[in-house]
Amino acid sequence: MGSAELQSIHVHPVKALRGLESREAVVEPWGLAGDRRWVLIDDGGKVVTQRQRPRLALAAAELVPGGVRLSAPGLDPLTVSVPEPAETVVLDIFGDKVQGVLADDVAHAWCSAYVGEDTRLVHMDDPATRRPVDPEYALPGETVTFADGYPLLLTSVASLDALNALIAEDGLAEEGPLPMNRFRPNVVVAGTAPWAEDDWRRIAIGEVEFRVAKACGRCVVTTTDQGTAERGREPLRTLGRHRRIGGSLVFGQNLVPRSPGTIRVGDPVRVLA
């Protein structure tokens, strides 16, 4: 695998909104700098994602100095500042009770107008302490932001090509080929064999070492066209036929950083174990 390299880097400042493609990113213990530090919650404190609201795929978030810039169809863009330290609220992210700090009322009004119901924007003020990684797969002290469960998600070009070939072979090609953005990864690797990442335990991307925590079980968000917000049946239909592992439909691997540093497009990817 000597020719494997980092093909692209993706940061999603607000969970569930369209993210950014970057040439480089700082790796922090809890993930890429700026990734999923913000999240939307409903009036009951539960996280709002594309699972319930596929239209969130059409809204975008961009990192700006001191905050985030939101844009969405039908609304004027809005820049939201990182809130000052304040009393935290408790939100529910897939059963995890996590603390965060509310953005201002203008941000809540903007988000509510787009979602169509009372929706608040929350910032994770202290990712070093707020949310531990799933203890079943974590080492002591590992934490994560508002990502689904782990600091980074890795996918590979070869595995997507293989998946699209399976979609076509099974006579289901009306929805394919699927683009990588269906899987909302942080890092995309090129130059590997298909599904090679299933066997990785430790890797290095450039100067940064990562632990491969577990395979990523996929949900209905992957069936959402990120350009139109329309839903289909792929890739879950084909993953269910060919990539059912331990009760989950698997594509990609969850990573936990083991060292700090900066990763860059073109960095070599080395398997350490």
pLDDT of 149 reads 93
Instruction: Answer yes or no: is pLDDT of 1 > 60.
Output: no
Q: Report whether pLDDT(79) > 50.
A: yes
Q: What is the pLDDT of residue 64?
A: 97
The predicted pLDDT at position 2 comes to 55
Q: What is the mean pLDDT of residues 39-47?
A: 98
CATH classification at residue 153: 2.40.33.20
Mean pLDDT, the chain, rounded, equals 96
How many domains, the chain? 1
- Strand bridging mode 152-156 / 187-190: parallel
User: Considering the entire predicted model, what is its pTM?
Assistant: 0.96
CB neighbours of 192 closer than 8 A, spacing ≥ 6?
Answer: 1, 4, 156, 157, 158, 159, 269
Please state, in angstroms and as integers, the Cα–Cα distance from residue 257 to each residue in 5, 26, 205, 223, following that order: 17, 11, 10, 28
pLDDT cut 90: percent of the chain above it: 93
User: Are 114 and 72 contacting, i.e. CB atoms less than 8 angstroms apart?
Assistant: yes
d(CA 216, CA 250): 5
pLDDT-derived band of residue 126, with 50, 70 and 90 as boundaries? Answer: very high
pLDDT in tens, 157-190: 999 999 999 999 977 778 889 999 999 999 999 9
- Taking residues 228-246, report their average pLDDT: 95
Residue 195 lies in domain? 5-272
